[in-house]
């Protein structure tokens, strides 16, 4: 006796609903995607009781005639796909023809729709998948789908819903996602009778972000210069360094308008931010990626949340370079005014006597050339003479002094800058060593007498396996018998250090990092760890000359605002902020 049966349609839809309609937010997602596929320019979303009482989406899209309205409720009825081959090029959000019948099978469902050219619309009422009524209805052009009592006939699913606040958070996220995916579409969102968002059609993603999250959030983001490489177009916004969050709640990746999760994308973002993230912090990102539909498979997840790229590594690299470009640009923008002040205006602070020379970044020959005019303009009132009394102009930037030997105080045009000397030193050492390890060439200081010492076996092995890289970084090291090393030279910026201690730190970092050899990412990690231990231990720069050198070298770094672990190097306090704190605002 055969026990295999074909499921009645309603049951099949309820089973499908298990996959497509995970929770109330998935209903909103599916309905809103249908509206967008129908060309809507304006959406109204209303929910009550965290979605288990009511979910309603109204649009001003194409609408349907009576026949299509009925067809849309049948399984695998879709206007978007006619053959399997179409799947490869699908540009619409939907394509399986599953959402409406699935949703209608687990709710009390009303579809009201009208084409603009028609004199009247159609209303279809469905209860638990059974059509209860079909009638003519007076309604505006477009479509409204109303979902009442979700899961009323599937008590098991209802029980699995989380707390109202969790479901509401998912609903909010679903609406935010669509608003960010389609900035040009107006979105009104009401929850339990209260307007959560009234978003006008925006002309850019940046202004949509500002409307959605506020001007402050927008200001904490950098615009990625629009870039296209290898057929992948990337545009969007990403956190300024330091403006990161404790969660991933503001990470939105869109591929051809579809919100997706994909490991290549998250890795690309992380790699671009590599040295700028403290543990447990996450950058915000709102990014649109446009790619040939044939190079991406959207049909790998029931809710289409995940995609598979044909060339994942290329997508990752495109995203990474777009984020890096934004971060580089931010660095240049940030440093430009500081540099101008430093070269043109920095003054000796009163406490350091009059013999101090004006502070010029260009006098550091071994550093990469900073972006600035060759000879800085003289300040107003003619060239500065030595011994001039410090003046305070609004545009001044000067070294005020040290605070508890740990911090430096700088006064800039925009306010106060507090600089952590140890963090600054770590950043400087890190970049120099990194340049050396990457083969960038460094100046070498020969020791007066070679240092010979022994290291434990594992440490010795780590150094012995990395001689070439160490040589590139300016270390004159060779293996000198079983466990011994001979050091004849150090990179110049480590001159004066105890060679044994330096090698011990490197070896320890290599061993604890699990790297048998210094290479690529592993080398960078070893350098990071070693630097953390070699940087100024206590005290900081001894005198003003050293303090100035520190600031100069810091500002020549690629990423001056954070140490290699992502902690901030400098904190800025604007005049406004100070005034506010003193109650003068
Ligand atoms: P899919 O989106 O995968 O095609 P759905 O079940 O979500 O499947 O929708 C079925 C069909 O109903 C769609 O292909 C479309 O033709 C029509 N439809 C659904 N919602 C709307 C809407 N808001 N406006 C116009 N047509 C719609
Ligand atoms: Mg759909």
81-140 per-position pLDDT tens digit:
667 666 666 677 777 778 999 999 999 999 999 999 999 999 999 999 999 999 999 999
Q: Is 34 in the pocket of ligand 1 (CB under 6 A)?
A: yes
Tell me which residue of 337, 470, 477, 359 sits closest to 408, measured CA to CA: 359
Out of 211-220, 385-394, 558-567, least confident range: 385-394
Span from the CA of 295 to the centroid of ligand 1 (angstroms): 25
What is Dmax (Cα atoms) for the chain? 107
The predicted structure's pLDDT at residue 523: 64
Q: Is 64 in the pocket of ligand 1 (CB under 6 A)?
A: yes
On whether the 213-334 domain is CATH 3.30.230.10, my answer is: yes
Residue that is written with structure tokens 């600089």 in the block: 419
CATH class of residue range 9-199: alpha beta
Span from the CA of 27 to the centroid of ligand 2 (angstroms): 10
CB burial of 548-583 (b: ≥16 within 10 Å; e: otherwise) equals bbbbbbbbbbebbbbbbbbbbbbebeeeeeeeeeee
Out of 216-225, 226-235, 281-290, 345-354, least confident range: 345-354
pLDDT tens sequence across 338-356: 444 443 333 333 222 222 3
Closest-CA residue, ligand 1 atom 20, reads 34
Q: Is 61 in the pocket of ligand 1 (CB under 6 A)?
A: yes
Ligand 1 atom with the shortest distance to the CA of 143 = 23
Which one of 94, 110, 139, 143 would you pick to mutate in the ligand 1 pocket, going by the greatest count of ligand atoms within 8 A of its CB?
Answer: 94
Q: Tell me which H or E stretch contains 565.
A: none
List Cα–Cα distances, 448 to 212, 369, 503, 505, in angstroms: 64, 31, 17, 21
Closest-CA residue, ligand 1 atom 13, reads 78
Which one of 31, 63, 72 would you pick to mutate in the ligand 1 pocket, going by the greatest count of ligand atoms within 8 A of its CB?
Answer: 72
Span from the CA of 179 to the centroid of ligand 2 (angstroms): 17
Span from the CA of 97 to the centroid of ligand 2 (angstroms): 6
Q: Which residues lie closer than 8 Å to 465 by C-beta, 6 or more apart? A: 516, 517, 518
Q: Tell me which H or E stretch contains 557.
A: none
Which ligand neighbours the alpha carbon of 124 most closely? 1
CB burial of 137-152 (b: ≥16 within 10 Å; e: otherwise) equals bebebbbbbbbbbbbe
d(CA 556, CA 122): 68
Residue spans of the domains in the chain: they are: 9-199, 213-334, 338-585
pLDDT tens sequence across 317-344: 999 999 999 988 877 665 554 444 443 3
On whether the 338-585 domain is CATH 3.40.980.10, my answer is: no
Q: Is 121 in the pocket of ligand 1 (CB under 6 A)?
A: no
Q: Is 38 in the pocket of ligand 1 (CB under 6 A)?
A: yes
Which ligand neighbours the alpha carbon of 116 most closely? 1
The predicted structure's pLDDT at residue 522: 61
Closest-CA residue, ligand 1 atom 2, reads 94
Which one of 17, 26, 37 would you pick to mutate in the ligand 1 pocket, going by the greatest count of ligand atoms within 8 A of its CB?
Answer: 37
Span from the CA of 68 to the centroid of ligand 1 (angstroms): 9
DSSP state of 346: -
Span from the CA of 378 to the centroid of ligand 1 (angstroms): 69
Residue 544 has pLDDT above 60, yes or no: yes
The predicted structure's pLDDT at residue 37: 93
Span from the CA of 217 to the centroid of ligand 1 (angstroms): 35
The larger pLDDT score, comparing residue 457 to residue 251, is at 251
Instruction: Identify any residues that bridge with 259 across adjacent strands, giving them in sequence order.
Output: 254
Q: What rounded mean pLDDT belongs to the chain?
A: 80
Span from the CA of 80 to the centroid of ligand 1 (angstroms): 8
Ligand 1 atom with the shortest distance to the CA of 142 = 24
Q: Is 59 in the pocket of ligand 1 (CB under 6 A)?
A: yes
Residue 442 has pLDDT above 80, yes or no: no
The predicted structure's pLDDT at residue 253: 96
Identify the band that residue 475 occupies on the pLDDT scale cut at 50, 70 and 90.
confident
User: E strands of 316-464, at which residues?
Assistant: 398-403, 407-412, 415-420, 444-454
Span from the CA of 94 to the centroid of ligand 2 (angstroms): 4
């Amino acid at each position: 006796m055969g026990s295999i049966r074909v499921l009645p349609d309603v049951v099949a839809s309820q089973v499908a609903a298990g996959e497509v309609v995970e929770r109330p937010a998935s209903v909103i997602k599916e309905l809103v995607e249908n509206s967008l596929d129908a060309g809507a320019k304006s959406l109204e979303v209303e929910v009550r009781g965290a979605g288990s009482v009511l979910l309603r989406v109204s649009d001003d899209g194409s609408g349907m005639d009576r026949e299509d309205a009925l067809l849309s409720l049948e399984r695998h009825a879709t206007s978007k796909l006619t053959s399997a081959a179409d799947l490869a090029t699908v540009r619409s959000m939907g394509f399986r023809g599953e959402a409406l019948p699935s949703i209608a099978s687990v709710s009390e469902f009303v579809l009201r729709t009208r084409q603009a050219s028609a004199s009247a619309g159609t209303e279809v009422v469905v209860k638990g998948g059974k059509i209860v009524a079909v009638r003519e209805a007076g309604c505006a052009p477009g479509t409204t789908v109303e979902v009442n009592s979700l899961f009323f006939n599937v008590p098991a699913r209802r029980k699995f819903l989380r707390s109202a606040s969790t479901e509401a958070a998912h609903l909010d996220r679903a609406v935010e996602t669509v608003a960010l995916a389609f900035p040009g579409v107006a979105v009104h969102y009401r929850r339990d009778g209260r307007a959560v968002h009234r978003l006008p059609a925006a002309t850019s993603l940046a202004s949509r972000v500002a409307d959605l999250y506020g001007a402050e959030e927008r200001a904490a983001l950098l615009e990625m210069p629009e870039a296209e490489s290898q057929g992948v177009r990337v545009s969007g916004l990403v956190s300024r360094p330091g403006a990161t969050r404790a969660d991933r709640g503001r990470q939105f990746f869109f591929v051809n308008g579809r919100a997706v999760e994909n490991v290549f994308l998250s890795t690309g973002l992380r790699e671009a931010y590599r040295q700028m993230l403290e543990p447990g912090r996450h950058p915000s990102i709102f990014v649109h990626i446009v790619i040939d539909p044939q190079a991406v498979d959207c049909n790998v997840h029931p809710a289409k949340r995940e995609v598979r790229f044909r060339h994942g590594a290329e997508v990752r690299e495109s995203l990474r370079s777009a984020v890096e470009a934004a971060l580089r640009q931010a660095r240049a923008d940030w440093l430009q005014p500081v540099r101008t002040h430093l070269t043109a205006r920095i003054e000796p602070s009163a406490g350091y006597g009059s013999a101090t020379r004006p502070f010029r970044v260009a006098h550091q020959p071994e550093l990469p050339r900073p972006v600035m005019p060759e000879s800085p303009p003289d300040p107003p009132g003619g060239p500065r003479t030595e011994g001039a009394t410090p003046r305070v102009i609004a545009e001044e930037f000067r070294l005020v002094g040290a605070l508890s030997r740990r911090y430096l105080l700088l006064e800039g045009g925009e306010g106060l800058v507090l600089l952590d000397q140890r963090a600054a030193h770590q950043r400087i050492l890190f970049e120099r060593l990194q340049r050396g390890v990457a083969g960038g060439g460094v100046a070498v200081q020969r020791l007066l007498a070679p240092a010979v010492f022994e290291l434990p076996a594992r440490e010795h092995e780590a150094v012995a396996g990395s001689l070439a890289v160490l040589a590139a970084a300016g270390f004159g090291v060779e293996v000198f018998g079983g466990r011994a090393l001979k050091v004849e030279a150090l990179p110049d910026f480590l001159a004066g250090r105890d060679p044994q201690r330096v090698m011990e730190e490197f070896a320890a970092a290599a061993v604890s990092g699990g790297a048998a050899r210094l290479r690529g990412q592993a080398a960078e990690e070893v350098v990071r760890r070693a630097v953390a231990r070699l940087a100024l231990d206590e005290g900081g720069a001894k005198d003003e000359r050293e303090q100035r050198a520190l600031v100069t070298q810091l500002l020549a770094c690629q990423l001056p605002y954070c140490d290699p672990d992502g902690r901030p190097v400098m904190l800025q306090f604007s005049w406004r902020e100070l005034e506010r704190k003193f109650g003068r605002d």
